[in-house]
Amino acid sequence: MSRALIRYEPGDDGIAVITLDDPPANAYSYEMMKALDAAILEARMDDGVHALVLRGAGEKFFCAGADIRMLSTATPSSGRSRAAPRPPSPRRSRSSASCSNSSSNRKTRAKASPPTSRSASRSSRAARGA
């Protein structure tokens, strides 16, 4: 059986304590994040809890950051290992008809609207000789 990485202790005074318990560094891993999420959800659903204290076990660190060993094998899709590659995501492709229609619409709108920027106004005055 694996050791609990998070300890959740609801107090009688309305203050719950969540402890990251993987000394000395309390580096977080995928498993720790799942356990932390579960502990926070448990505190959130407990009507007797009004505040949370988050602390780290051990004497050196609260939390040194990510567990580098875990990061070397983790992927965004699994969060655990690179053993199973993620299938490629389908990409949207635009048809040439929709591209040409949208660009012609932009040209029509540009011709129909008067210049609004200062540089456009200056260039029109310069062209008129003002």
The CA distance from 92 to 97, in Å, is 15
pLDDT tens readout for residues 65-111: 888 877 777 777 765 544 445 556 666 555 444 444 444 445 555 55
Question: What average pLDDT does the segment 26-52 reach?
Answer: 93
Q: Domain ranges in the chain?
A: 6-71
Please state whether the peptide bond connecting residue 24 to the residue before it is cis, i.e. omega within 30 degrees of 0.
yes
Give the pLDDT score at 71: 74
Please tell me which residue, 27 or 38, carries the higher pLDDT value.
38
More confident residue, 28 or 119: 28
Write the class of the CATH domain 6-71.
Answer: alpha beta
pLDDT at 91: 65
- Phi, psi (degrees; rounded to nearest 5) at 8: -115, 125
CA distance 112 to 125: 19
- What is the predicted pLDDT for the residue at 98? 45
The predicted pLDDT at position 127 comes to: 60
Residues with Cβ < 8 Å from 10, sequence gap 6 or more? 16, 43, 46, 48, 49
